[in-house]
Every structure is written in C-alpha cells, then in structure tokens.
Amino acid sequence: MNSIIELTDYYSSNNYAPLKLVISKGKGVKVWDTDGKQYIDCISGFSVANQGHCHPTIVKAMTEQASKLSIISRVLYSDNLGKWEEKICHLAKKDKVLSLNSGTEAVEAAIKIARKWGSEVKGITDGQVEIIAMNNNFHGRTLGSLSLSNHDAYKAGFHPLLQGTTTVDFGDIEQLTQAISPNTAAIILEPIQGEGGVNIPPKGYIQAVRQLCDKHQILMIADEIQVGLGRTGKWFAMEWEQVVPDIYILGKALGGGLYPVSAVLANNDVMRVLTPGTHGSTFGGNPLAIAISTAALDVLKDEQLVERSERLGSFLLKALLQLKHPSIKEIRG
C-alpha cells in the first residue's frame, strides 16, 4: 500500500490530499483496500455511486454498448440519445436537455444559458448580466463556476474571474431580496449545500426564492449535481418544497458510478437561446455515456432506490441521534 501511495504522490499534481488508504475493489455499498480490509463507502464518490459500485445492470449496459459503438460526433444522430433525452426530460418535467460530461461543465453551460437568456429575452445589456449565488456554495473549480464562489482560498491566484456575480447568505431571503437588481438574470443554488457543510435551508426558503424569481423575471437554477437522483429520498431535492426550478443541473450519479455524465435541463423558452455553434461538447451525449446513463436511471427506478434512500435516511438519522457519540458534533438530515 505504501509503495502505491508513494508512486501516486510522486507523479500526481498536488491539488488533492487523500487519506492514506488505497481502495482496489468495490461492490454495492462496500469497498476493499489492497490489504483486503472491507469498508462501507458512505462517501460513494461524493454521490457518484448512488446505485452502488459496479452495479451489474449498469456494467452490462456499458460492456454491450462498448462492443457496438462508443462514440460518434454530434454532427450525426445516434440510436440511443433521443430515448435517453425523452426519459430524463419526462423525469425532470422539462422540454429540453443539454447532454454533457462533468458537473462543473454543466454549471458552466447553465451560466452561459442564463447570460444569453438575460440579454436576449429579459433585455439586459450584453455584458451587464448579473447572477446571484449563495455563500458557502460549491459549483466547481473552473473559472466560471469559481466566479460564483465566495471562497477566497479557492479563488486566490486565478483572477480575473467572471464579472457580474455576487453571493448572499444561504437561507437569508431578505439579503437575497436586497441583492436583486434589474440586471439580475439568474439565482443559482444547491437545494442542500454539499461541500459547504451539508447546510439545509430554513423551511420555506426555497419557495420564497421561487416567488422572488417569478416576481422579478429571474431564472431559478437548481444545482442538483450532488443532492439529486435519490440522494435525499426524492428524485430531486427541490421536491421537498414542491418547487420547480427553471433550470436543473445534474451529474455524478447520472453516470451510475461508471462514466462521467451530466446534463442541463430547461423548458423551450429558456433553452431556445442555444443555437448551433453557441455551445458544444465532444464527448457529451456519446452512445456509451447514454447507454450507461439510461441503465443508471433505470436502476434507480426499478429497484426503488429513491424510496429506499428516504427509508434508510430516516433510520440512520434516528440511530445516529441515539448514539450520542462524543466525536459527533452535529447531525443534520
């Protein structure tokens, strides 16, 4: 194990500080290290493996598609993309989907869509469009997504970032109201903040944000990359307050733990700002990714993993509260 760690540390860029543990196998909720020791994987790749590691249905879909056709350019049609698009659009109750790869890539696309919608539909002068995000958010580390962050340590040395972004405290509707201007095109938030500390907003906050967006003609963007697809006991965490955003951003578990797949979903009145050439992705929507993602969605539905997540989440919350372990500072859920 030590030799693997030393080799990896020697050649890897220094942007991670992993635990001194080498995992070599995974199946379901369990993983094994190189010494054969077994663990329950509560991290699940930060919500990537919601279906479990190496789920046989998803692995089968992957291997079958890989032996038939893995990738073509989007200048051509593939035989499985349209069916997947129909499936995920029906799930999210949206008209259109933009298929991509990583979650941060999807955030970048959502920023572009919001800016273009702001100038073309809302009539904001191009170059003056504003987007409001939340303090302690995490939407990624690319320049666009990083521009939405208030983490100075993450941003240090990478300026200048995108202009026209501001942040407010998550859960403070009055502060959000004060931040809105005539140039505000979108408000982006995680329904439950992930890296920011599993921060759950006050009851009614998400609904209040929706009302503000409706009042001021602002797009509500829900980053469900980490909390979506069953992680909170609902297909989408927004469902807990019965709120439908204008734009959904999905990723992580959309690829079933086997392949990077992400998506941006919106209705025609928003997505129509994208025309040929305004956005693209070489690997986005490729046949292999779509076969895997289709199977990943089917597993969540057929095995009722969303409902199972709600049941087990309630059980674990009660059990952890009863445990009263001195090393546990707080339990939220």
Active site residues: 138, 223, 252
- For residues 96, 99, 104 and 109, what is the CA-based torsion angle, rounded to 10 degrees? -50
d(CA 176, CA 191): 15
Nearest by Cα to 122 from 243, 213, 245, 247: 213
Q: Using the CB atoms, write b or e for 221-236: b if 16+ within 10 Å.
A: bbbbbbbbbbbbbbbb
d(CA 327, CA 273): 51
Contact 155, 170 (CB under 8 A): no
Helix axes 81-92, 287-302, angle to 10 degrees: 40
Helix (H) or strand (E) holding 263: strand 262-266
Q: Which residues contact 153 (CB under 8 A, 6 or more apart)?
A: none
Q: What are phi and psi of 193, to 5 degrees?
A: -70, 135
Nearest by Cα to 81 from 295, 298, 289, 259: 289
Contact 219, 185 (CB under 8 A): yes
Can you read off the two tokens belonging to residue 125? 């002068």
d(CA 206, CA 218): 14
